[in-house]
Amino acid sequence: MRSMPGRFTLSAVALMCVVVLAACNCAPTLRYITVAPTTMSIDAGTTQQFTATTYYSDGTQTDATATAAWSSSTPAVATISAAGVASGLTLGTSTITATFGGVSASATLTVARSLQTLVITPAAVTVGAGQTQQYDAMGTYTILNSTTPTTVDVTAVAGWNSSKTAVATIDSTQDTTNGLATSLTQGTTNITATLDGITSNTAVLTVGAPVQTGLQVTPSPATVAVGNAITLTAVELFSDASTIPLTSAATWTLTTCAPAGSATIVSGGTANNSTEIVSGQTVTTTACTVTATQGTFTGTSAVSVVAGTATSAYLANSGGNPPGGSANGTISQFSVAAATSPYLTPLTPATVTQATPPQVVILHPNGLYAYSIDVSSQVHIYDIAPAGSTTAPAGTLTLRSGDPVVVAGASDTNIGAIDPTGRFLYVTDSGNGTSSLGTLNGFTISQTDGTLTPISGVVNVTTNLNGPSDAVIDRTGKFLYVVNDGNASVCEFTIGAGGTVTAGVSTPSGTGPVFATVDSANPSAQILIVPGGDNTVTTYTINATTGALGVGTTTTITGAAALDNAVVDPTGSFLYLVDFGNSGATPALPSQVYAFNISSAGVIGAEIGTPLKTDVSPGGIVIDPTGKLLLIDTNGSNNTSATNIDLYTVGTGGALTAVTPVPAGIASFGIALYVANH
């Protein structure tokens, strides 16, 4: 008889099947373990991290470094921690084993070297505060299976220590500067090194007073505009970065300028030759290196010559400033934007008052000082507020106390010129035509504060002078040329040491010359240009060595009445001539400005466009260093009771376009344009 299983029995069988099935779906099993690195060589006293990795039947792996059991076969050679870090103790070889889940793997660790001694040098040294001292560490090792010790440079891997870090610190970053000590203050500190548990001998570092390490030249780097000058200053530089004035003389050199002759240097004449004046000649493509040398010490500055930027303009007003004028006289002052209108904007204040009417304003090439020469031959010194000034708007003039500081000669028409380095001021007085035919006076200019001192031997010089009406100096600062209106000539002077002058020949020049200009786009081949009152302009080559004027080339300007002044654009390509005009002619000849091409040899070429009218009695003419804006001052007006500064933009090919004039005072002989060194 067949019996049927009960409900309980069936349940038990089902449960058993589940258990059996679960047992058949087995968890992954550990197949093997690895240890890395498999072989390794270390020094005694150093450690080595080993890692253990387990691999399972399902292809997975895990890091078992922290859970494996670690052992060393020769603990006397090397031990190993529960974290797998082996420590080398003595020369020999040991097998490092990791065990996990009953499975083991091994690696071979060799302790190949044992550091016995560590010696650092120098053992004792003295340095100045702020200096550095490199220490070296040499380690002597015993080598496994060798009877010969080996000495190795271990400077880069040693740990370094200074006992007094306030006296000196020492680099211990284990790189190329490891072991480099830097002294801080005077005192003594002990320097030691450690490696592989070994401490070196003690080296004594004594830090003494700072010592001179070189010269420091400032500013560096520097820029100077063409036609401007800057003063570099050298001081002694010490190991703690402190400086003092030069205690012995320095010499200065200039190299690497491209193109050659882009800048010139001349001693500033200060104590121990501590300053050097750099004059910008042409724009550099490679900066000039100016070097000061004092014995074995040097310092340098990289000086670039740039076109510069016109930032301010000044006009001497012999009859005051409108409306109404003044019994004294003023100087109008403007900010300049050569590329955009309005081109001239009055500064605040718009004028400065001078007790005696100024005839001309001359700017020092360093941009710090302005000199006004008045109708009584007196020279007045003004300070020019620099950019960023907190005491006055940038570009404004401030008259020095104690003004006037110098009396240059008899009263009459007075003009002046400053050499390109800013060391000397020369002032001409036209004389009265009878008892005096005019004089020339010279002054040295202090590079510290701009004050003037008469030059011995250049006081009331009269040689070859006859009604001098203008004075110009060539770009190199070697030669002075005085235009004589009285006998229509140009007198040559050579500028010597200390600003002394030696008179050269007097060259006839047209009829009624008043002003002159030097085309110095190429300082090594300069041209002197002298307009004449007989509607001619004469150009002379200048001998770069002697300053002698070559045979003049005279050009008649058709339609002109009385040429008065001239300027050449910064590229040396375009000549602009001011024609005073002749209101009494029939028909009347207006005041106007001409534009011409001009060659590098001074040959006047084709006229550019047609002459443009100016206001009445034009005098001074200037062009900004970018060649974009031309300014002419006038003594009268065609349109209003106010006199003007006539403005012209310069276009392609040198063509002029008149723009709205700017009201100004009753001008004397010239407008001065301030050019910043940027």
* Span 588-606, average pLDDT: 92
At 90, which CATH number? 2.60.40.1080
As a whole number, the mean pLDDT across the chain is 89
Containing structural domain, residue 34? 27-112
Domain boundary among 208, 225, 249: 208
Q: Please give the pLDDT value at position 126.
A: 96
- Rounded to an integer, what distance in angstroms lies between the CA atom of residue 503 and that of residue 462? 10
pLDDT value of residue 321:
46
Same domain, 429 and 403: yes
**pLDDT value of position 35:** 97
Mean pLDDT for 485-513 is 90
What are the pLDDT digits (tens) for 197-213?
Answer: 999 999 999 999 999 99
Say what the pTM is.
0.78
Q: Give me the CATH number covering residue 598.
A: 2.130.10.10
Same domain, yes or no: 464 and 572: yes
Q: What's the N-to-C CA distance of the chain in angstroms?
A: 123
pLDDT at 99 over 80: yes
| Of 303, 338, 353, the domain-final residue | 303
- CATH code for the domain in which residue 298 is found: 2.60.40.3450
Q: For 109-163, what is each residue's pLDDT tens digit? A: 999 999 999 999 999 999 999 999 999 999 999 999 999 999 999 999 999 999 9
Mean pLDDT of 213-242: 95
Please check whether residues 140 and 230 belong to one and the same domain: no
163 located within any domain: yes
Does 330 share its domain with 471?
Answer: yes
Q: Which residue has the higher pLDDT, 434 or 522?
A: 522
**Within-domain flag for 21:** no
Rounded to an integer, what is the distance from CA 187 to the centroid of its chain? Answer: 38
Of 46-60, 373-387, 627-641, which range is least confident? 627-641
3-state secondary structure 420-459: CCCCEEEEEECCCCCCCCCEEEEEEECCCCCCEEECCCCC
| Residue 169 belongs to some domain of the structure | yes
Mean pLDDT, residues 185-199: 96
4 located within any domain: no
* pLDDT tier at 388, thresholds 50, 70, 90: confident
User: What pLDDT was estimated at residue 361?
Assistant: 93
Mean pLDDT of 622-631: 94
HSE-CB for 81 with a 13 A CA cutoff: 9
- Please tell me the total count of domains within the chain: 4
User: For position 511, what pLDDT does the model report?
Assistant: 81
Residue 16 included in any domain = no
Rounded CA gap, 254 and 305, in Å? Answer: 13
pLDDT higher than threshold 80 for residue 196: yes
Residues 255 and 157 in one domain: no
Judge whether 8 lies within some domain.
no
Residue 9 lies in a domain: no
Task: Please determine, for residue 10, whether its predicted confidence score (pLDDT) is greater than 50.
Answer: no
HSE at residue 316, side-chain half, CA atoms within 13 A, is 28
pLDDT of residue 18: 40
Please tell me whether residues 491 and 618 are part of one structural domain: yes
The SS3 call for residue 391 is: coil
**Domain identity same for 58 and 185:** no
Bond prior to 513 in cis (omega within 30° of 0) = no
Q: Which of 146, 178, 208 is the last residue before a domain boundary?
A: 208
Q: How confident is the model at residue 432 (pLDDT cuts 50, 70, 90)?
A: confident
pLDDT at residue 635 tops 90: no
Percent of the chain with pLDDT over 70: 92
Indicate whether 364 and 501 sit together in one domain: yes
- Looking at the chain, the whole-number percentage of residues with pLDDT higher than 90 is 72
Question: Can you give 261-300 as a three-state secondary structure string?
Answer: CCEEEEECCCHHHCEEEEEECCCCCECEEEEEEECCEEEE
Per-residue pLDDT tens digits for 273-328: 999 999 999 999 999 999 999 999 999 999 999 999 999 999 988 765 443 444 56
Same domain flag for 276 and 262 = yes
Band of the pLDDT at 25, cuts 50, 70, 90? Answer: low
Check whether residue 392 and residue 508 sit in a common domain: yes
Residues 283, 317, single domain; the answer is: no
Q: Does 6 map to a domain?
A: no
Residues 578 and 667 in one domain: yes
